[in-house]
Amino acid sequence: MKLLKTLLASAVAVSAMPALAYEAGDIIVKAGIVNVNPKEDNIDLGGGAKAQISDDTQLGLTLTYMVAPQIGVEVLAATPFKHDVTLNGNKIASTKHLPPTVSAQYYLMDPASKLQPYVGLGVNHTFFFDEDGAAAHLKKSWGLAYSAGLNYNIDDSMLANVAVWKMDIDSELNDTGIDIEIDPLVFMVGAGMKF
């Protein structure tokens, strides 16, 4: 009788615990602050002159579809980023861009763990608009995107997230043959829900 009571009590306790596990078919939506931080000396103008592209911070959104308990497909989107181009400290141009990115992700921990570190590999497509000054026309860019992040599952549906991407974003200025290597690190801090 005592054994039966113990088993019943254990079953009730386990059923009351949140089911944190990631499962195939889960959808995870995260929103937060995203910073795009281009590498140094982005534009080589020749003769030792190098222009810089400023960083920018915007609102970001990711949507992940879990194909399997440890494999997801993520789409990264954001409000438009605006960057100034400076030469010797003087602004010579500005542009806006959107860098939608699709990545395959692998989650490293047991799907039931509260901590869910992951790595990803994907494709980035960046297009530029509202250019002015010397950046009168910038070509679209396709490139690889490498990512890593960490979800902390607060309960069965709520989570906190930090993530970083290294993106290959290269363009060409005004069909001049001048290459622009933005190649930024992209950082995101946010929160989300699992459906």
Q: What is the pLDDT of residue 40?
A: 78
Q: How far apart are CA 188 and CA 32, in angstroms?
A: 7
- Mean pLDDT, range 105-121, rounded to an integer: 94
Total-model pTM: 0.81
Query: Each residue of 119-129: pLDDT tens digit?
Result: 999 999 999 88
- Spell out where the chain has E strands: 27-37, 43-46, 49-53, 56-68, 71-78, 81-87, 90-98, 101-107, 115-133, 141-153, 158-167, 170-173, 178-181, 185-194
CATH of 26-194, one of 3.50.50.60, 3.40.50.2300, 2.40.160.20, 3.20.20.60: 2.40.160.20
List the one residue out of 101, 42, 110 whose CA is nearest residue 73: 101
- Mean pLDDT, range 5-15, rounded to an integer: 42
Residue 164 contacts residue 185 (beta carbons within 8 Å): yes
Report the relative pairing of strands 178-181 and 158-167 from DSSP bridges.
unpaired
Residue 91 contacts residue 47 (beta carbons within 8 Å): no
List the one residue out of 134, 131, 142, 161 whose CA is nearest residue 62: 161
List the one residue out of 160, 179, 155, 130 whose CA is nearest residue 19: 155
Q: What is the pLDDT of residue 92?
A: 81
Backbone conformation region of residue 67, classed left if phi is above 0, alpha if psi is from -120 to 50, else beta: alpha
Query: Each residue of 15-51: pLDDT tens digit?
Result: 344 456 889 999 999 999 999 999 876 676 666 677 7
Neighbours of 150 (CB within 10 A): 16
Q: What is the pLDDT of residue 62?
A: 97
Q: What is the pLDDT of residue 19?
A: 52
Looking at the DSSP bridge assignments, the partners of residue 76 are 62, 101
Percent of the chain with pLDDT over 90: 55
- Mean pLDDT, range 176-194, rounded to an integer: 89
Is residue 174 scored above 80 in pLDDT? no
Q: How far apart are CA 118 and CA 106, in angstroms?
A: 5
What is the residue extent of each domain of the chain? 26-194
Is residue 60 scored above 90 in pLDDT? yes
